[in-house]
């Protein structure tokens, strides 16, 4: 299947979804007015990927910040990933946040509380 | 506006520590420009990256709230406003921190709904706000506009202060909504 490789913009994150390695990365900021348009192809991709997932899928979330319109779409993305587990695939989420950025740390914890996937909270100097 | 009033307005903005002010039509392009402007401005300020991000984040959420919820056409006291979809947005930086202030006309019916939501948000402490956010995130639906009912909750969480607001009566069907978000 085709990979998704998109550069980041002022309002949208860089995307690198690689079906061969099973590594899915979102990086940058996510603040579009209507996030559904941006995230729908990503969710569709995960659905297709789910037909034949890698034994281990790594999800790297390296977001500086995101708006509330994105937060719902990101939740849907995690829910899609959660469903890969029913196929016996392992899914691990690496949630990156910058030092002292409690808001992004808490945002990761919010998803952790809702989604039944293992989360690694990773503090870095700069995203 | 007379020339003297230009100076008066300038002095007012100076005294009130207003570092950014905009009054006009809220469009998607405007959002991109104002955010770019604000980012450039923030870079020149001696601020921690944590606070910069908070201010930026709250500003995004405030402007997108206006963008999504502002009325297309408001007729005030029988007269249609010259410019629909207009709002006032200001950023203040003073010794206490930052203030993000917005003002816009709103239909009374929507104002009542909004006020109920604001009363609820202001009644919650940090942990309760977090629970509320999570429950709306889980159970809420996304509208066609891509909104999820999380904006004000997120603004309150990021601000860490109670939201200050006022609804001024304009006419039978309309109010003017002012919002003041403090970031220490």
Count the Cβ atoms, other than its own, within 10 Å of residue A17.
22
Residues A79 and B102 sit within 8 Å (Cβ to Cβ): no
Residue-level pLDDT at B116: 93
Residue B50 to chain A, least CA–CA distance (Å): 6
Q: Which residues of B81-91 are buried (b: 16+ CB within 10 A; e: fewer)?
A: eeeebbbebbb
Identify the contact set of chain B against chain A, taking CB-CB distances under 8 A.
Answer: 28, 31-32, 35-36, 48-50, 53-54, 56-57, 60-61, 64, 67-68, 130, 133-134, 137-138, 140, 142, 145-148, 150-151, 153-154, 157-158
Nearest-CA residue of chain A relative to B154? A68
Residue-level pLDDT at B75: 65
Q: What is the mean pLDDT of residues A68-81?
A: 94
Q: Which CATH number covers residue A57?
A: 3.30.750.24
Q: Look up the ipTM and state it.
A: 0.92
CA max distance for chain A? 39
pLDDT single digits (tens) A105-114 = 999 999 999 9
**Distance of alpha carbon B103 from alpha carbon B84, whole angstroms:** 14
List the structure tokens of B54: 């908070």
Residue of B38, B85, B148, B150 to mutate when probing chain A, most A C-beta within 10 A: B148
Q: Which fold would CATH assign to domain B3-183?
A: Heat Shock Protein 90 (3.30.565)
Domain extent at residue A72: 4-124
Residue A1, pLDDT above cutoff 70? yes
The strand pairing partners of A27, in sequence order, are A14, A62
Q: Could you say which of B36, B137, B157 has the minimum Cβ distance to residue A72?
A: B137
List the structure tokens of A125: 């100097």
Residue of A33, A63, A100 to mutate when probing chain B, most B C-beta within 10 A: A33
**Distance of alpha carbon B100 from alpha carbon B118, whole angstroms:** 16
**Residues for chain A: how many in total?**
127
Displacement of CA B165 from its chain's centroid (Å): 10
User: What residues of chain B lie within 8 A of the CB of A98, using their CB?
Assistant: 49
| Contact call for B57 and A36, based on CB within 8 A | no
3-state secondary structure A26-45: EEEEECCCCHHHHHHHHHHH
Residue-level pLDDT at B72: 61
Residues A92 and A57 sit within 8 Å (Cβ to Cβ): yes
pLDDT single digits (tens) B42-72 = 888 888 888 888 998 999 999 988 888 776 6
Query: Which stretches in chain B have pLDDT values below 50?
Result: none
User: What residues of chain B lie within 8 A of the CB of A64, using their CB?
Assistant: 53
Residue A55 to chain B, least CA–CA distance (Å): 28
How many domains is chain A built from? 1
Displacement of CA B97 from its chain's centroid (Å): 17
Nearest-CA residue of chain B relative to A72? B137
pLDDT bucket at A12, cuts 50 / 70 / 90: very high
Q: Could you say which of A10, A67, A100 has the minimum Cβ distance to residue B64?
A: A67
| Contact call for A67 and B61, based on CB within 8 A | yes
What residue segments make up the domains of chain B, in order of their start? 3-183
């Amino acid at each position: 299947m085709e990979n998704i490789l998109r550069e980041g913009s002022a309002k949208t994150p860089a995307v690198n979804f690689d079906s061969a390695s099973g590594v899915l990365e979102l990086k940058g900021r996510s603040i579009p007015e209507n996030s559904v348009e941006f995230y729908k192809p990503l969710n569709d991709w995960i659905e297709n990927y789910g037909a034949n997932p890698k034994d281990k899928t790594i999800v790297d979330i390296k977001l500086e910040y995101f708006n509330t319109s994105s937060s719902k779409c990101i939740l849907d993305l995690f829910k899609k990933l959660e469903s890969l587990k029913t196929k016996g695939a392992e899914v691990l989420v690496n949630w990156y946040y910058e030092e002292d950025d409690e808001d992004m740390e808490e945002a990761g914890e919010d998803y952790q509380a809702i989604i039944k996937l293992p989360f690694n909270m990773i503090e870095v100097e700069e995203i | 506006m007379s020339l003297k009033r230009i100076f008066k307005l300038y002095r007012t903005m100076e005294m009130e520590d207003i570092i950014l002010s905009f009054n006009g039509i809220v469009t998607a392009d405007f959002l991109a420009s104002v955010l770019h402007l604000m980012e450039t401005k923030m870079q020149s300020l001696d601020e921690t990256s944590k606070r910069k991000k908070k201010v930026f984040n709250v500003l995004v959420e405030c402007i997108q709230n206006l963008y999504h919820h502002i009325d297309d056409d408001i007729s005030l006291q029988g007269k249609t406003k010259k410019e629909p979809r207009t709002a006032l947005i200001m950023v203040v930086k003073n010794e206490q921190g930052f203030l993000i202030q917005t003002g816009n006309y709103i239909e009374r019916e929507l104002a009542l709904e909004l006020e109920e939501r604001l009363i609820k948000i202001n009644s919650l402490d940090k942990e309760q706000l977090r629970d509320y956010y999570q429950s709306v995130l889980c159970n809420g639906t996304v509208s066609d506009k891509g909104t999820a009912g999380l904006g004000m909750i997120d603004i309150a969480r990021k601000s860490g202060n109670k939201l200050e607001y006022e609804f001024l009566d304009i006419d039978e069907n309309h109010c003017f909504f002012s919002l003041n978000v403090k970031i220490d």
